[in-house]
Amino acid sequence: MAVYTDVSFEELESFLTGYEIGAPLTFKGIAEGVENSNYYLQTTKAAFILTLYEKRVNVADLPFFLGLLEHLAANGIACPLPVRSLNGAQSSRLGGRPAALFTFLNGLSLRRPDAAHCAAAGAALAELHEASKGFGLSRKNALSHDGWGELVEACLPRADEVELGLADLIRNAHAEITAVWPQDLPTGVIHADLFPDNVLFMNAEVSGLIDFYFACNDAYAYDLSVMLNAWCFESDVAFNVTKSKALIAAYCRRRELSKAERDALPVLAAGSALRFLLTRLYDWLNHDPHALVRPKDPREYARRLRFHRKVRSVGEYGL
């Protein structure tokens, strides 16, 4: 369960005196998520999400994250909207942690999205990219190609404990991908983590996008490559080109990819596969056995990475 900081009812009542959202009726922890402590709050006025930011979130980044959500909501994107306190603040403190209240979004995330769901999510990503234009703040992508080196060095000594040959795969892929990493692609604010559990659906339509805590400035096409990895592989890690074609086509109907972006997709997809392989592997190797959150298996992304390294044409993604 993703609740690292417990909040007593007395603490909650004191915290809510700084807001005009009604009296609390229901308050319970949320199992989803791995970075922060999240609670569902129902009051006499509406439903909300209360988030307490744990150690992995830099407090200095909160104005970017919270400001971005306000900007996106003002530009038509269904996303959690920070609830400002009575003194106008976007965030406060609770349980010794920075904390923020958000509007609650209805909808369900899908474990097994089909091609139509992939298309809807691809369209939503393009709309997000368009809506984010004009946002005044920026944040570097600390997990882009120039930030993988430290993770590589930290993971290599024990990588083969997880899977034989994994160290060589990481070492070789890192050298190859960073040597040809594309420059000068169209960039802006991206989500960088738009997995199926971060997209809510109602009646087969996207009802909301959530979890923006990896959002940053980077290439739009890189964001698309993250989705190819997250949405277009089956449970046996076989690539589903039908889903990929639907996702990319829907994205392009709202934001056309340039030739340079299309040509870069194989290396971007390999790069995003390596990024999630590294972060999952690091968490796997450094897991606290007393932690309530179980780390995700990095081997799934090793198999995705092997697939992308064999791709020779964007046509293999359905373009």
Q: What is the pLDDT of residues 140-156, one digit of tens each?
A: 999 999 999 999 999 99
Residue 34 sits in the same domain as residue 165: no
**How many other CB atoms are found less than 10 A from the CB of residue 9?**
9
Cα distance between residue 116 and residue 316, in whole Å: 19
The C-alpha atoms of residue 120 and residue 21 are separated, in whole angstroms, by 33
**Inter-CA distances, 151 with 44, 146, 272, Å:** 47, 11, 14
Average pLDDT over residues 22-48: 88
pLDDT range class, residue 243, cuts 50, 70, 90:
very high
Is 3 a domain residue? Answer: no
Same structural domain for residues 166 and 56? no
- 275/151 Cα distance (integer angstroms): 9
Domain count, the chain: 2
Last residue of a domain, one of 69, 103, 137: 103
> What mean pLDDT do residues 50-79 have?
93
β-partners of residue 180 are none
Q: Has residue 80 got a pLDDT over 80?
A: yes
The dihedrals phi and psi of 220, each to the nearest 5 degrees, come to -55, -40
Same domain, 82 and 204: no
CA–CA distance, 293 with 1 (Å, rounded to integer)? 6
Both 35 and 150 in a single domain? Answer: no
Distance between CA 138 and CA 293 in Å, rounded? 30
Q: Rounded to 5 degrees, what are φ and ψ at 242?
A: -65, -45
- Domain co-membership, 177 together with 294: yes
Average the pLDDT over each of 108-112, 249-253, 276-280, 288-292 and give the range with the smallest value.
288-292
* Distance in angstroms (rounded) separating the CA atoms of residues 29 and 227: 28
Reported as half-sphere exposure (CB side, CA atoms, 13 A), residue 204 has a value of: 4
- Long-range contacts from 28-32, C-beta under 8 angstroms, 24+ separation: 29/1, 29/2, 29/3, 30/1, 30/2, 30/3, 31/1, 31/2, 32/2, 32/109, 32/197
What's the pLDDT band for 33 if we cut at 50, 70, 90?
low
Is 124 inside a domain boundary? yes
Judge residue 138's burial from the number of C-beta atoms within 10 Å of its C-beta, 0-12 exposed, 13-18 middle, 19 or more buried. Answer: exposed
Q: Both 21 and 46 in a single domain?
A: yes
Task: Indicate left, alpha or beta for 161 from its phi (over 0: left) and psi (-120 to 50: alpha).
Answer: alpha
Do residues 180 and 284 share a domain? yes
278 assigned to some structural domain: yes
In sequence order, what are the beta bridge partners of 222?
none
- Residue 312 and residue 170 in one domain: yes
Q: Are residues 256 and 159 both part of a single domain?
A: yes
285 and 181 within one domain: yes
Range of the domain at 40: 9-103
Please tell me the pTM assigned to this model. Answer: 0.94
In this structure, the answer to whether residues 250 and 280 fall within a common structural domain is yes
- Average pLDDT taken over every residue of the chain: 94
11-18 contacts at long range (C-beta below 8 A, 24 or more positions apart): 11/94, 11/95, 12/41, 12/50, 12/94, 15/92, 15/94, 15/99, 16/43, 18/85, 18/86, 18/87, 18/92
pLDDT tens digit sequence for 156-207: 999 999 999 999 999 999 999 999 999 999 999 999 999 999 999 999 999 9
Residues 6+ apart with CB under 8 A from 168: none
